[in-house]
Amino acid sequence: MSLPSIQPANGLGDLKFDNSFLRELPGDPEEGPARRQLTEACYSRVAPTATAAPKLVAVAKETAELLGLSPADCASTEFLQVFSGNGLLTGMQPFSTCYGGHQFGNWAGQLGDGRAINLGEIVNTEGQRLVLQLKGAGETPYSRTADGLAVLRSSVREFLCSEAMFHLGVPTTRALSLSLTGDEVMRDVLYNGNAAMEPGAVVCRVSPSFTRFGHYQMLAARGETELLEQFLNYNVTTDFPQLAGIAPGPERALAWFAEVAARTTTMVAHWMRVGFVHGVMNTDNMSVLGETIDFGPYGWLEDYDPDWTPNTTDAQGKRYRFAHQPAVAQWNLLQLANAIFPLVNDAAALEKILASFETNYVETWNAMLGQKLGLQSFEARDGELTDALNSVMQLTEIDMTLFYRNLVDIDVREESASADLTGVLTSALYDPATLTGDVQVAWNGWLQNYAARLRDDQQTLDARRAAMNAVNPLYVLRNYLSQLAIDAAEQGDFSRIETQLDVLRDPYTEQPGREEYAGKRPEWARTRVGCSMLSCSS
Ligand code: AMP
Ligand code: MG
């Protein structure tokens, strides 16, 4: 722990730390990054590794505000020093946590924060507890064979997507800052023997808790039932205060599990609403708070393809494809249920919650889909319409985001009941010439049924437009847009990150002059690495 201690005379100096994870849970007696397997402990004390020449790339002012930091605070040299891993504020006690997980369906044993280091927990003026965590700040006991570092491209993606999700209304961890370290990092992007040096970077992430399903699984796998119980009780009192009134014991564990399942339902339904594919939904990448966490080989659906996965590592089995995300979430919850079983000892009660995940998900998703389509409410009869939509959307390449955004312009007048309504699709199609013959007939059939349903609803156009535009974003973090921001940043131009973040601050409102940020994927991006294909290399 040889990092300099920093005492800034600005808002940073006012951050008050209350490191409950360290205080309430047992830690590893050994410090430092030597690799080891933990027993009877939840974390190891380890400091960030100092970097050669840190440079601030971007700050998300909304996240800074959450911490009570002003733009001037964020522009200070102390800010850069601390959030690039080169200094510690009074009260910071850096540590990494131990977790396990199922990767691609297989138990992987101990994983842990291999390149994440928590600096400490603050309680903000609203009383909200927030953990500050650096990603890419060097080796930890959990780095296994890797280097604990992160590169600029993956850090830009994590930074932008965290904030994009927040502004879209999707539960997510937040990003405070993105810095270059000045160090070079070796990566083989496609794992094909073409390793190259890339600029290293660090992101500071912020969340009330970074606790993952895998934290529970690790304790269960080690057979440490007492510590498992202590961990759950810590988690409940710290992060689920609404459940703290239930006495410790099976009833509390079940209520907690039901709450995690409910939050996971909401999170995944939002992913489906905005066309987000996480790409690596391993159980170690599932937050118990139901926040989207670990932005790695994620992607955004452009042409609607339920079978699409952005992750090249997942290209064979497509376990983490778009349409499979709800089922994977349920499978992950099953693993979490197994982990906490020793605290409940009632398989039927856990199974009941798992079974209700499915019904709750369908209900949540139908309600959202109804909103996306501008229906006053989703009715049982609408299942046929939405199933048919899922099919017609796969007949020809159509941009999911633009399709929903444009749909409000459909001609619903009675006198158009035998007209061709497919003009509303044109600007969303990747190749408008494909809209002929049977494809056009099928689409027109669907649009006619939809228009009839809207006539039934008798909502005014203004009301429908407002409702639809509130859930159908115009701007999402399209894969190629991230890549353009990365390309510029790698050349030393960070302005595209700034502008991209600014566009995403208001994703549901048309922003004149920023049409390029709402555009369909250009043809060059269809096959470019980083746009259509991503790997776990980061
Ligand atoms: P994930 O890609 O999030 O599923 O990561 C799986 C595990 O690998 C986690 O324990 C990560 O902390 C760890 N990991 C990923 N990249 C690195 C890296 N560059 N250095 C050390 N650990 C890493
Ligand atoms: Mg991870």
Which pLDDT belongs to residue 487? 97
- Is the CB–ligand 1 distance for residue 146 below 6 Å? yes
- Classified as helix, coil or strand, 180 is strand
Ligand 1: residue whose CA is nearest its atom 2: 536
Q: What is the largest CA-CA distance in the chain?
A: 77
What distance in Å separates the CA atoms of residue 207 and residue 203, rounded to the nearest whole number?
A: 13
Most informative mutation of 103, 107, 144 for ligand 1 (most atoms within 8 A of CB): 144
Please classify residue 235 by burial: count the beta carbons closer than 10 Å to its beta carbon, then call 0-12 exposed, 13-18 middle and 19+ buried.
Answer: buried
**From residue 243, how far is each of 234, 249, 267, 483 by CA, in Å?**
12, 12, 20, 43
For ligand 1, atom 23: residue with the closest CA: 114
Concerning whether 284 is annotated as a catalytic residue, the answer is yes
296 lines ligand 1 (CB under 6 A): yes
Ligand 1 contact via 48 beta carbon (within 6 Å):
no
If you measure from the C-alpha of residue 158 to the centroid of ligand 2, how many angstroms do you get, rounded to a whole number? 12
Residue 317 · residue 104 · CB < 8 Å? yes
CA 143 – ligand 1 centroid, Å: 7
| Ligand 2 centroid to residue 113 C-alpha, Å | 8
Q: How many other C-beta atoms can be found within 10 angstroms of the C-beta atom of residue 342? A: 16
H or E stretch at 233: helix 225-239
For residue 484, give Cα distances in angstroms to 168, 479, 530. Answer: 21, 9, 10
Q: Is 527 exposed, middle or buried (0-12, 13-18, 19+ CB in 10 A)?
A: exposed
Rounded to whole angstroms, the Cα distance separating 377 from 468 reads 12
The helices-and-strands tally (H runs, E runs) of the chain is 16, 13
Kind and range of the H or E element at 465? helix 461-469
Among 46, 111, 286, which is best to mutate for testing ligand 1, by the most ligand atoms less than 8 A from CB? Answer: 111
Query: Which of 46, 49, 142, 285 has most ligand 1 atoms within 8 Å of its beta carbon, as the pocket-test mutant?
Result: 142
Contact 37, 110 (CB under 8 A): yes
Q: Is 221 exposed, middle or buried (0-12, 13-18, 19+ CB in 10 A)?
A: middle
Strand-pair partners of 299: 277
Q: Output helix, strand, coil percentages for the chain, rounded to the nearest 5.
A: 45, 15, 40
Is residue 113 within 6 Å of ligand 1 at its C-beta? yes
Residue type, 332: N
Q: Name the residue at shortest CA distance from atom 7 of ligand 1.
A: 111
Q: Report the atom number in ligand 1 closest to the C-alpha of 112.
A: 10
Locate all alpha helices (DSSP H) within 61-209, ordered by sequence: 61-66, 71-74, 77-83, 152-168
The confidence score (pLDDT) of residue 198 equals 96
Residue 137 to residue 142: CA distance in whole angstroms: 13
Q: Taking the CA atoms of 448, 454, 456 and 460 in sequence, report the sign of the dihedral they define.
A: negative
356 CA distance to ligand 2 middle (Å): 27
Confirm if 97 and 112 have CB atoms less than 8 A apart.
Answer: yes
pLDDT digits (tens, 9 = 90+) for 239-280: 999 999 999 999 999 999 999 999 999 999 999 999 999 999
Distance 88 CA to ligand 2 centre (A): 25
Report the Cα 298 to chain-centroid distance in Å. 8
Every domain of the chain and the residues it spans: 5-211, 214-372, 382-458, 479-525
CA distances from 317 to 57, 304, 466 (A): 37, 19, 40
How, if at all, do strands 299-300 and 43-45 pair? unpaired
Structure tokens at 43: 């974390």
Question: pLDDT value at position 1?
Answer: 53
State the pLDDT at residue 253. Answer: 98
pLDDT in tens, the chain (538 residues): 589 999 999 999 999 999 999 999 999 999 999 999 999 999 999 999 999 999 999 999 999 999 999 999 999 999 999 999 999 999 999 999 999 999 999 999 999 999 999 999 999 999 999 999 999 999 999 999 999 999 999 999 999 999 999 999 999 999 999 999 999 999 998 888 889 999 999 999 999 999 999 999 999 999 999 999 999 999 999 999 999 999 999 999 999 999 999 999 999 999 999 999 999 999 999 999 999 999 999 999 999 999 999 999 999 999 999 999 999 999 999 999 999 999 999 999 999 999 999 999 999 999 999 999 999 999 999 999 999 999 999 999 999 999 999 999 999 999 999 999 999 999 999 999 999 999 999 999 999 999 999 999 999 999 999 999 999 999 999 999 999 999 999 999 999 999 999 999 999 999 999 999 999 999 999 988 888 888 888 9
Give the pair of three-digit tokens for residue 65.
Answer: 């505000």
Mapped onto helix, strand or coil, the DSSP state of residue 420 is coil
Q: Which of 87, 86, 98 is nearest to 38 (CA)?
A: 98
SS3 252: helix
